[in-house]
Structure 1
Amino acid sequence: MRLDPTQLETNCNGIVATDIDTFLKMKIPPRTCLLAPWLPSSGLTQVYAYRGVGKTFFALNVAYAVATGGEFLGWTAPTPKRVLYIDGEMPASDMQARLRTIKGNDVMNSDNFKLITPDIQDVVTPNLANEESQIELHSYTSEADLIIVDNISTLCRTGKENDSDQWTPVQRWLLKMRSEGRSILLIHHANKSGGQRGTSGREDVLDTVIALRKPQGSSPTEGASFEVHYEKNRGFSGNDAQAFSASLSMMNGKQVWKTESLQASTYQRCVAEYKKELSCSEIAVLIGKNKSTVSRHLKKANDEGLIQYEH
């Protein structure tokens, strides 16, 4: 939110500096959340994952929850807000199919969810690293409370992703949007080692960074599933910042999401694999955990009468 500087002194270049007492007397509204606890109003956030993990499923559900004042993965949107979803690569037919499974027959204010996607355009996909594209999008971005950029590689074409200087025009735009009271969610790709692709300097101005990771040993036949890990969590902590797992199933053509703590998820996986007659060592390799961790879960399951674990 841009604060009113009219009562403050400015220098010849229009830059404002204020003394501490004046600043502390300013009536600055507290930040609220568009989606509690991690997506603040006037906030800059990022979600990244390796290809095929479920980034767009995640982003579309966040968009829908914010637009309807709904809920996603236990996160709640207090009130409906205006969302602009800028898509850079999804075929229109796939986008339509995914949105149908999210919306179903729900009744909502459709003006709260605006979509820009390549296949319905007669012009080139916007490049947010270019000031001209930023201006061209202004009539849409100026009406949004939340702007989702899916994804950085297709919509912020800066050239070398590892060059922090080439990210500067995008960062300038992000900070401008924030100063106007808008929130941004950036969707990004992970590299082969699992970290986010490109310059780490991108994180400097962000409030929240979330990594979506494929569970160890998961199968493509299981459908969309991922672990949610907070890598940066400005403004929230404790239980709100605990990692968890999420999985998607379909019921009557509509998405149904299930979440559970990572500890509970690991425990259930250990029990399930042990019932398939895998050894403790084999389970440890399969799910990517230490043998001692697997053994501890199996001992607990034995004590609860779920299995007979000889150790």
Structure 2
Amino acid sequence: MSAQILYCMNVPPSGSSDKHMEDYLNTLFDRCEHGFIEIRRPVSQGFWHSEWISLDDQTLPMFPNDENVFIGVATRKNKYEGGGRNNLFQIPAVWLDIDFKFTEEVKAREHIKEFSLKPSMIVHSGKGLHLYWLLENPAEPEDIRKIEEVNKNLARHFEGDKKTADAAHVMRLPGTYNQKYHPAPLVTIESYTTDKVYRIEDFNFLHLPSPPTQTQSAATDKNNESYVDLLYGVEKGNRHDALIRLASLCKRIGTSKDETKKLLLHWNQNNPEPEDEKELIYQIEDIYSRHSQREEYSETIQDYTSVIESSVMHLPAFMHKTLPIRPYIINPLLKKGELIMISAARGVGKTWVALSLGFMATRQLRINNWETGTLTATLYIDGEISEDEMQDRILKLKIGRKAEQVPFYLLSSDEMRSNDKRSPNLNNPSWRSSISEYLKSHPDIGLVILDNLSSLTPGRDENKKRDWDEINGWLLELRSKGVAVIFLHHEGKGGDQRGTSAIEDNINFSIRLKRPEGYRKEDGTKFVVEFTKSRRLHGENIKSFTLKLQEEGMVLDWKVIADEEQNTEAQIIKSLKEGMKQKDIAKTLGVSASWVSQVVTKAKEEERIKRIDAVLGDDEEQIKDASEAEEVEIGDDVEVIEE
């Protein structure tokens, strides 16, 4: 990007608020070539909205003087995948936020004066300073960890805010007003230059000690998921889950509680946004206070003969019993009191689907053949997503849709932790009982969505059925009260839901979301919906289909891509018949060679019964006499790729 490519809609006079904005953008993004700048600001009802400026566009929006406006330091690849780490494109600088509430201004300016690497740009945020050191060449996504380590080291050196070290962080935009204070001060540039540029290596003298290492046997759990990467810090949305896993690991390998506290307090400083230390200590205490083996029932032996006597029914009496009709909440997928599990690998789109189903329960909505049945108030209990990301997702789903007709409630663990409250832990019987009591006092709520088991059941051994039994009993209790539950779960390495198979024993449906064959990152949120268990539906109602979340104008909507894999299989068969080799087919269609080989094997088995022409869907007129037509086999003369 060349200098001065960005300018405001009205060319401002020197010294105006718009001039600060212009100078900031031209200085920060001078060396960036392509991508989008994310500008984030609040909208109605407390939600945040992102606006996207292409580096190829020469216009900037105008912002009201009464709003907080923030900007992503890193450019984004596109405007469809949000402002998270996975969408970062180029990072033009390292940075630091100094808040005068915690560091005196005089002391901060002395540190800046004494620091050997002079900032390329200093922004006065109203009650603090934002310092930027421009990079000679913008960093790429593979450098994210290095950028965040430098940012954390700068924050430590200057006694700044460690929470702003995340590479996807947004900072206040100069030329706008800081609405945290009254009167709201203007965010201004104190100094800037494009002549002072640095390399990431120039900051190595601020090196942070490496985190302690674990033995290989301790660094890997039963699902072969490495703990080593967690030690270098995690994003805010994964922070709580990582804390529980690391604390549980320490307990399993015999580390004392005090040593675990020291280790994880040190680990916490590696996180872009450190966990609250009180919450961290509480979670460690909670894990170490549990018995390694749960106590056996201590209930006094009782005679249940009278209970059995009063409950046994003669079959005709049972059949004449009048039962209420359980209405559809989502037709034909979910009835009142049913249990559904949705599993997928990380990042596939479980939360997007769960939020959409919550929308479907509370307002008129349709996705493929799923549509709103009886409007049902919904409680969404989230244990993983950060508040700002959840706001962003809900806002994107709300735009262009009908308003909710019955309440959609949210219980956010991140919001609770930020206010020093205990977050939900379904391992704890008190939490389960409290949620049941809340539902009892809010009888309008007929659907509960749990996102997700890993975050809401911290420390549970996922491979042990016994650890699941108590939670399963609670879900069955909710079912008996007519409350439907959808819970999300991570997928294991083999593609099945993670942990004990007992999770699927009592549920009505198990739905797996998987990437379609030939999936590319630019496809975004796109997956195949596959039923792996169904108690009530069959046939077309449980046929797999492909969904893609795409933006149409300002509206995010689900697009159904029908029979995508079947169409690709047909193309493979046709190409084989035309004499193409498997490796050429894989390259042409953009799919893996192993999948082409699987299609070949499957077709060979089917060809023992069916003619290849039928598989390919040849026109019937071309096969006038089946008895005389040549049998075409996909077989011995087809090259098979050895894996």
Q: So what's the TM-score if we normalise by structure 1?
A: 0.83
Alpha-carbon offset, residue 177 of structure 1: 0.4
- 1:143-163 deviations in whole A, cap 9, x for unaligned? 321100000011123521111
Deviations 1:88-107 (A, max 9, x none): 01011111111111111544
Moved more, 70-79 or 183-192: 70-79
The answer to whether the aligner puts 1:179 opposite 2:484 as a matched pair is no
Contact 1:49 1:212 in 2 (8 A): yes
The separation in 1 between residues aligned to 2:494 and 2:344, in whole angstroms, is 11
Which position in structure 1 is the counterpart of 2:530?
Answer: 229
Give the 3 Å change call, closer, same or farther, for CA 85–108 of structure 1 in structure 2.
same
Q: Kindly report the root-mean-square deviation, in angstroms, between the aligned alpha carbons of the 2 structures.
A: 2.9
1:125 corresponds to 2:423: yes
134 and 287 in structure 1: CA distance in 2 versus 1, 3 angstrom threshold: same
> Cα offset for 1:254?
1.9
Amino acid at match of 2:343: Y
Map 1:282-301; keep pairs closer than 5 Å.
Answer: 282=587, 283=589, 285=592, 288-289=595-596, 290=598, 292=600
Does residue 148 (structure 1) correspond to residue 449 (structure 2)? The answer is yes
Q: 1:14-163 maps to which residues of 2 (within 5 A)?
A: 16-109=311-404, 112-121=407-416, 122=419, 123-142=421-440, 143=442, 144-157=445-458, 159-163=460-464
Alignment of 1:174-213 (within 5 A): 174-213=475-514
- d(CA) in 2 for partners of 1:97 and 1:270? 40
Match of 1:6 in 2: none
Measured in 2, the distance between the counterparts of 1:19 and 1:131 equals 36
Q: 1:287 to 1:240 in 2, by over 3 A?
A: farther
CA distance 1:109–1:57, shift in 2 (3 Å): closer
Deviations 1:57-109 (A, max 9, x none): 11110111111142223301122111100000101111111111111154424
Partners of 1:256 and 1:286 in 2: how far apart?
A: 32
- Structure 1 residue identity aligned to 2:368: L
Q: How far has the Cα of 1:300 moved from its partner?
A: 5.4
Q: Which moved more, 1:246-255 or 1:137-146?
A: 137-146
Asked if 1:218 is matched to 2:218, the reply is no
Please state whether the residue corresponding to 1:97 is helix, strand or coil: helix
Q: 2:554 aligns with which of 248, 253, 268?
A: 253
Structure 2 counterpart SS, 1:52? coil
SS at match of 1:137: helix
- For residues 227-267 of structure 1, give each alpha carbon's deviation from its aligned partner in whole angstroms, at most 9, with x where no partner exists: 011011111101111111111111223212111333x4442
Select 1:279's aligned residue among 579, 584, 596.
584
Match of 1:12 among 303, 306, 318: 306
Distance 2:541 2:402 in 1: 30
Read off the aligned partner of 2:362 and give its amino acid letter: A
SS at structure 2 position matched to 1:288: helix
Residues 175-195 of structure 1 deviation map (CA, whole Å, 9 limit, x = unaligned): 110111100001000011111
Larger Rg: 2
TM-score normalized with structure 2 length: 0.42
**C-alpha distance in structure 1 between counterparts of 2:586 and 2:546, whole Å:** 23
Q: Tell me, what secondary structure is at the counterpart of 1:248? A: strand
Higher RCO (Cα < 8 Å, 6 or more apart): 1
- Which AA in structure 2 matches 1:12? S
Structure 1 stretch 109-118 or stretch 235-244: which is displaced more? 109-118
Counterpart CA distance in 1 for 2:618 and 2:559 is 26
Structure 1 residues 294 and 96: alpha-carbon distance in aligned structure 2, compared to 1, 3 A threshold: farther
* Deviation of the 1:287 alpha carbon: 8.1
Q: Is 2:567 the counterpart of 1:267?
A: yes
CA contact under 8 A between 1:217 and 1:288: conserved in structure 2? Answer: no
CA contact (8 A) 1:38 1:233 kept: no
CA 252–294 in structure 1, closer or farther in 2 if over 3 Å, else same: farther
Counterparts of 1:58 and 1:286, CA distance in 2: 30
Distance 1:197 1:153 in 2: 10
The residue that corresponds to 2:539 in the other structure is: 238
User: In 2, Cα distance between the equivalents of 1:291 and 1:198?
Assistant: 30
Q: Give the partner amino acid of 2:389.
A: D
Query: Structure 1 residues 287, 267: CA separation in 2 closer, same or farther (over 3 Å shift)?
Result: farther
Q: Distance in 2 between matches of 1:294 and 1:18?
A: 53
Identity %: 26
Does the CA contact (< 8 Å) of 1:34 and 1:78 recur in 2?
yes
Contact kept, 8 Å, 1:270 with 1:294, in 2: the verdict is: no
- The letter of the residue matching 1:233 is S
SS of 2:343's partner is: strand
Q: How many residues align?
A: 290
* C-alpha distance in 1 between matches for 2:405 and 2:463: 38
